[in-house]
């Protein structure tokens, strides 16, 4: 069985919830303290064993591409100023992985960027992570998913417990048979069913590990609510032919696509840092 070496990260959205900040800057470049959101996601993927990062972008996302590219002028200036640590940090970004950039083309929905990457993914399993989802875990979120994939060899959906409100925001998993700690052989998935129709409180949040047969299922998709073509719907169709697993992620989740989630990520991570923790606590105590 092939190992998962590639990750597809869709980053072509407009980021309307953060306007006007995202009018000229991609939402994925919003900082969590001193690193952009997208870097946290890429670093997590690399820490999990990913060697090729496929970013599906648009014409407004050049800053994302530039962030992972070499900046000779900046590096020369840092070297001249004797800023060794900053220089090493900047240089390390470009060496994280092999980066591939694809311009998104096709209908609205998160299935489109996955299909756009088919020619790069080829005939091997791959991960899909989203540019809003940041996790703080003892074992990286994607590594937890990869461990499940390596055990069973079938698609894996990341999952988190949610509440009634979450059943109207997320795809909800019908968990089926529990086969291990935090692992279910799924019966199905339902997109945003609401609390009354939800088969569980286990939400599909945090990405997927997929096999190449997903591409045929995406091509057969019909638009769902809001005219979206949704990857989770393609996974649901694929489950008629093969098993898929839900992996409940152990760790803290931040939805940085929302203002409160982004703020939460900044505060939580600042509190855990040696250089910022004490000052952050004092600042929070002083707020009235």
What is the full per-residue pLDDT of the chain (288 aa) written as tens digits? 679 999 999 999 888 899 999 999 999 999 999 999 999 999 999 999 999 999 999 988 999 999 999 999 999 999 999 999 999 999 999 999 999 999 999 888 899 999 999 999 999 999 999 999 999 999 999 999 999 999 999 999 999 999 988 888 888 999 888 999 999 999 988 878 888 888 899 999 989 999 999 999 999 998 877 788 989 999 999 999 999 999 999 999 999 999 999 999 999 999 999 999 999 999 999 998
CA–CA gap between residue 88 and residue 113 (Å, rounded): 32
Three-class secondary structure of residue 6 per DSSP: strand
Q: Which two tokens stand for residue 29?
A: 């470049």
Any idea where the domains of the chain sit in the sequence? 6-157+204-247, 258-288
pLDDT score, position 64? 94
Tell whether the torsion through CA atoms of 79, 81, 82 and 87 is positive or negative.
Answer: negative
Q: Strands 126-128, 6-10: parallel, antiparallel or unpaired by DSSP?
A: parallel
pLDDT score, position 251? 95
Contacts of 249 (CB under 8 A, 6+ apart): 135, 137, 141, 144, 145, 158, 159, 160, 182, 206
**The listed CATH number (3.20.20.140, 3.90.550.10, 3.40.50.1000, 3.40.50.11720) that belongs to domain 6-157+204-247:** 3.90.550.10
CA–CA gap between residue 206 and residue 248 (Å, rounded): 10
Task: Name the DSSP letter for residue 132.
Answer: T
**Contact by Cβ (8 Å): 127, 50:** yes
């Amino acid at each position: 069985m092939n190992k998962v070496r590639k990750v597809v990260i869709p980053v072509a959205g407009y980021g309307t919830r953060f306007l006007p900040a995202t009018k000229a800057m991609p939402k994925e470049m919003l900082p969590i303290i001193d690193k952009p959101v997208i870097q946290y996601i890429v670093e997590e993927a690399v820490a999990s064993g990913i060697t090729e990062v496929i970013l599906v972008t648009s014409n407004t996302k050049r800053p994302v591409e530039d962030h992972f590219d070499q900046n000779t002028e900046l590096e020369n200036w840092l070297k001249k100023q004797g800023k060794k640590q900053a220089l090493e940090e900047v240089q390390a970004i470009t060496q994280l992985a092999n980066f591939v950039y694809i311009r998104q083309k096709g209908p609205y929905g998160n299935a489109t960027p996955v299909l756009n990457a088919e020619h790069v993914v080829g005939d091997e399993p791959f991960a899909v992570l989203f540019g809003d989802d940041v996790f703080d875990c003892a074992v990286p979120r994607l590594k937890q998913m990869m461990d499940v994939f390596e055990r069973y060899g079938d698609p894996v959906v990341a999952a988190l417990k949610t509440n009634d409100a979450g059943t109207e925001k997320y795809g909800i998993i019908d968990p089926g048979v529990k086969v291990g700690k935090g692992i279910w052989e799924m019966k199905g998935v339902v997109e945003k069913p609401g609390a009354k129709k939800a088969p569980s409180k286990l939400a599909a949040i945090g990405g997927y590990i997929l096999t190449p047969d997903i591409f045929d299922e995406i091509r057969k998709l019909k638009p769902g609510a809001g005219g979206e073509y949704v990857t989770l719907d393609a996974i649901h169709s694929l489950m008629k032919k093969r098993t898929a697993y839900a992996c409940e992620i152990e760790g803290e989740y931040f939805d940085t696509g929302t203002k409160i989630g982004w703020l939460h990520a900044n505060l939580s991570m600042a509190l855990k840092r040696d250089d910022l923790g004490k000052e952050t606590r004092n600042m929070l105590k002083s707020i009235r």
